[in-house]
Amino acid sequence: MTLFTRRTMLKSAAVVGAYGAGLAVMPRLNQARAAPEPIEINAFTDAVMLDGKQQTRGVMRYAFSGQASGDPQPPVLRARRGEPFAARLLNRLDEPTTLHWHGIRLPNSQDGVPFVTQPYVYPGDTYDYAFAPPDAGTFWYHPHCNTLTQMGQGLAGVLVVEDARDPTFDGEVVLNLRDFRLGGDGQFIEQFKPRDAAKTGTFGTLRTANWQREPRYDVPAGGLVRLRILAADVTRLYNLRLSGAQAEIIAFDGHPVPQRMALDMAVVAPGQRLDLAVRVADAEGMEMVLEDIRPSTPKVVARLRAVGSSLKRSLGDLGPLAENAGVEADLSSATEIPLLLSATAENAARDSICGSIGYSFWAINKIPYPGDTPDPTAPIAELKLGKTYLLNLENVTPHAHPIHLHGMNFKAIASNKRAVQPLVSDTYLVLPDEKVQLALVADNPGDWVFHCHVIEHQKTGMTGYFRVS
């Protein structure tokens, strides 16, 4: 019971809010699966203190109806595996938007991609989403309309799918990592520079975790804490390291790893998630530091501080996470799909209500995506429902691309650059000059977008979609 109390105590207000607004009314497994009352998520603009000095105007926020005060970052949403989840988006922005549920295998109609799966949601309108997430783990939600601006100015939150069979931790810390691009006066500056969009993407100026600079969280001394990390930035890749505590990687991109491994350094690219089991230091007051060691001078991402007397737990006590479905690929009958990732300068994206940034720098199979328009290009490929495919990605650019597929999972099979583990995922970081094979079972009908999650790359051509029928 002590553990439970501690755990409850350590949950953030946002998390408790999520329960209050949504889960309490959800039916339990084995009960009638009537659709629950949707949680209401408002999208709106606000002035928020981000840099610690001045209010930034025009920050885009998500908040539950009636809960706009308090922690300004998008709330952590909680759902349970296999149970109906429903959310109503209220668009109080002055531009259209949608909600996309990144990494969730859901019906195509709930995927939130304007023109491909739904009309965009006008200012003042609402839109209802409903699905029962089949996988447990760390996922996220964000708009798929004018994405560079909307995500860049704030819209990206964590969606946790729980499973009661997961082991009990003594605490949980959710970290939503991102930058904001602000000038010296604390106001947004232009979201991108064309010459950076044509390279790695344009970086923000203010690094944050949960919209704070180097936040610190209290965790039970000697306890086992689950750290759920999301790289929600539009550009930045993180090389994460944790000092001052033992930690094991328990899941990547929402999915439990077959074998837990000690965390040395983990690369987390835009769109990706990392779940760690942390064995907190024993001594009260000890700090553990999560750092990004990608920049030449390492940067503090967040700190954990041990509180209370040691619970004396051990990582070895921790049972496995409940499994997610694997990718049951039949490689003997697989059809290969070549996918060339390259640079281009042709066919700038057409102007559109969901935002074009007016340039074309990237292409998949030499075709730059025309943007969110009523007449997108033909699908990259038409896939037969139930059949196995091998996506043969070849990156002929000098930049890394975190390539994301909606609606289905894949697993890496082979790479010319590294020993790959057959991890189930929705986002694979394709390194410069890498050729990688991703196996996929086309088990979800619909049109599913496939794009780089460096949003400037996505918006300047590196996007396409598969049609599964």
Question: Could you list the residues that contact ligand C2O (CB under 6 A)?
Answer: 100, 102, 142, 144, 271, 404, 406, 449, 451, 453
Interaction of residue 207 with Cu ion, rule CB under 5 A:
no
Q: Which does 401 bind (CB under 5 to 8 A by kind): ligand C2O, Cu ion, none?
A: Cu ion
- φ, ψ of residue 224 to 5 degrees: the values are -105, 120
- Cβ 112 to ligand C2O, closest distance in Å? 8
Q: Find, among 80, 79, 87, 75, the residue nearest to 11 by Cα.
A: 75
Residues 243-282 that bind Cu ion (CB under 5 A): none
- Cβ 455 to ligand C2O, closest distance in Å? 9
Interaction of residue 452 with Cu ion, rule CB under 5 A:
yes
Q: Which does 241 bind (CB under 5 to 8 A by kind): Cu ion, ligand C2O, none?
A: none
- Which residues 6+ apart lie within 8 Å of 409 measured at CB? 105, 135, 255, 325, 327, 424, 425, 426, 440
Interaction of residue 457 with Cu ion, rule CB under 5 A:
yes
- Pick the closer one to ligand C2O by CB: 271 or 464: 271
User: Do the strands 266-268 and 388-395 form a parallel or antiparallel pair, or are they unpaired?
Assistant: unpaired
Q: Which does 454 bind (CB under 5 to 8 A by kind): ligand C2O, Cu ion, none?
A: Cu ion
- Cβ 454 to Cu ion, closest distance in Å? 4
CB 43 within 8 A of CB 89: yes
Q: Which does 17 bind (CB under 5 to 8 A by kind): ligand C2O, Cu ion, none?
A: none
Per-residue x/- track, 378-407, Cu ion (CB under 5 A): -----------------------x------
Interaction of residue 454 with Cu ion, rule CB under 5 A:
yes
- Pick the closer one to Cu ion by CB: 106 or 452: 452
- Cβ 341 to ligand C2O, closest distance in Å? 16
- Pick the closer one to Cu ion by CB: 274 or 364: 364
- Pick the closer one to Cu ion by CB: 78 or 457: 457
Largest Cα–Cα separation, the chain: 63
Q: Which two tokens stand for residue 307?
A: 């509180």
Residues that bind Cu ion (CB under 5 A): 401, 452, 454, 457
